[in-house]
């Protein structure tokens, strides 16, 4: 007989709420919003077909059956954690979170350098699109773009983006030969996930504002890059993540001397995590790799 799938995310949320005595504390530990925790609890109650808490002016009080249920869940999680530790190989896994553009165009192409220095570590990279809410509690390292402090996590600057014009190599050669004025009549590919960056570059280049140009809008930056690689105009983006070692050479910057400041990438690690020493090694390597890239290495 097939076993019915368990709602593990809901159970983890319930366990955190009861163990930490509140939705807010659970949200902080899980790295999600207060509303996300409340929705998971409501979904579990619907799944079970009964209330797990008494509601008292916005405060959740677990009923006796819920406390007994959570004791079983906590014990199960601890046993699973111990079992995972026993079957783990000598190579430790480091769970790294980053947004898609940074991961695909900067981090992943350089991971072999990290493995050469730290062969005992297996880096598992998970990405998201800008604007999506990650559950940071599940990661050892979180690399965020333009982000404010995350709880009491330790932060380290990785790199500062420089925004410039990007297009195909052939088109870049033509534009570079004729100067900025050759842009007139071009189409700008603009993404919703990087608002205001095209406008800042146009201002730095002393060109007309964006509303004076033909524009094609895309939901995500990597989609805009695919558009320009297929001959659909030009785009503004971080030169560090798109040109040179970061790609196969199909993208180029016709005017690399014209730049606008972009956001900073910051790496966060939990100083109280068991993986802290390994995460610290990775973050130190990130900074060294970024410095080497800036020097042209």
Backbone dihedral region for residue 31 (phi beyond 0: left; psi -120 to 50: alpha; all else: beta): left
112-171 pLDDT, tens digit each: 999 999 988 999 999 875 554 556 778 899 999 876 777 788 999 999 999 999 999 999
Q: In which band, very low, low, confident or very high, does the pLDDT at 88 lie, cut at 50, 70 and 90? A: low
Percent of the chain beyond pLDDT 70? 91
> What string of H, E and C letters represents the secondary structure of the chain?
CCCCCCCHHHHHHHHHHHHHCCHHHHHHHHCCCHHHHHHHHHHHHHHHCCCCEEEECCEEEECHHHHHHHHHHHHHHHHHHHHHHHHCCCCEEEEEEEEHHHHHHHHHHHHHHHHHHCCCEEEEEEEECCCCCCCHHHCCEEEEECCCCCCCCEEEEEEEEEEEEEEEHHHHHHHHHHCHHHHCCCEEEEECCCCCHHHHHHHHCCCCCHHHCEEEEECCHHHHHHHHHCCCCEEEEEHHHHCHHHCCCCEECCCCCCCEEEEEEEEEECCCCCCHHHHHHHHHHHHHHHHHHHCCC
Do 161-262 and 92-160+264-294 have the same topology in CATH? yes
59-79 pLDDT, tens digit each: 889 999 999 999 999 999 999
Structural tokens at position 108: 């992943």
Q: Does domain 8-87 have CATH number 1.10.10.10?
A: yes
Candidates 3.40.1160.10, 3.40.1380.10, 3.40.190.10, 3.90.580.10; CATH matching 92-160+264-294: 3.40.190.10
221-234 pLDDT, tens digit each: 989 999 999 989 99
Alpha-carbon distance 224 to 17, whole Å? 41
Mean pLDDT of 14-35: 92
| CA-to-CA dists, residue 60 to 48, 122, 192, angstroms | 17, 40, 38
Question: Domain coordinates of the chain in residue numbers?
Answer: 8-87, 92-160+264-294, 161-262
231-249 pLDDT, tens digit each: 899 999 999 888 754 455 6
Per-residue pLDDT, 222: 86
Per-residue pLDDT, 297: 53
Q: Which residues on neighbouring strands pair with residue 187, listed in sequence order?
A: 214
Mean pLDDT score of the chain: 88
Alpha-carbon distance 233 to 169, whole Å? 12
263-279 pLDDT, tens digit each: 999 999 988 888 999 99
Name the superfamily (CATH) of residues 161-262: Periplasmic binding protein-like II (3.40.190.10)
Structural tokens at position 102: 């940074």
Alpha-carbon distance 52 to 246, whole Å? 50
Percent of the chain beyond pLDDT 90? 65
Alpha-carbon distance 167 to 232, whole Å? 9
Per-residue pLDDT, 10: 94
């Amino acid at each position: 007989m097939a076993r019915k799938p368990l709602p593990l995310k809901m159970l983890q949320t319930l366990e955190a709420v009861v163990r930490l005595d509140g939705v807010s504390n659970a949200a902080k530990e899980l790295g999600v919003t207060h509303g996300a925790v409340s929705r998971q609890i409501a979904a579990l109650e619907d799944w079970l077909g009964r209330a797990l808490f008494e509601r008292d002016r916005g405060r959740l009080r677990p009923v006796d059956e819920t406390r007994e249920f959570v004791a079983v869940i906590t014990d199960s999680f601890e046993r699973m954690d111990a079992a995972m530790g026993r079957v783990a190989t000598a190579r430790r896994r480091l769970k790294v979170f980053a947004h898609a553009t940074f991961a695909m165009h900067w981090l992943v192409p350089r991971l072999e350098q990290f493995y050469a220095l730290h062969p005992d570590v297996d880096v598992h990279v998970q990405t998201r699109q800008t604007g999506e809410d990650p559950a940071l509690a599940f990661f050892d390292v979180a690399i965020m773009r333009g982000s404010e402090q995350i709880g009491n996590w330790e932060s380290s600057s990785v790199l500062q983006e420089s925004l410039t014009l990007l297009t195909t190599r052939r088109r870049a050669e033509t534009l570079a030969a004729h100067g900025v004025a050759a842009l007139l009549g071009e189409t700008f590919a603009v993404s919703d996930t990087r608002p205001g960056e095209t406008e800042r570059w146009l201002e730095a280049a002393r060109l007309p504002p964006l509303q004076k140009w033909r524009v094609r809008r895309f939901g995500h930056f990597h989609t805009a890059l695919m558009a320009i690689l297929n001959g659909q105009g030009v785009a503004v983006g971080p030169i560090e993540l798109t040109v040179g070692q970061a790609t196969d050479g199909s993208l180029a910057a016709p005017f690399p001397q014209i730049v606008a400041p972009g956001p900073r990438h910051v790496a966060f690690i939990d100083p109280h995590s068991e993986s802290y020493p390994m995460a610290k090694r990775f973050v130190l390597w990130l900074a060294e790799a970024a410095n080497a890239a800036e020097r042209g290495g």
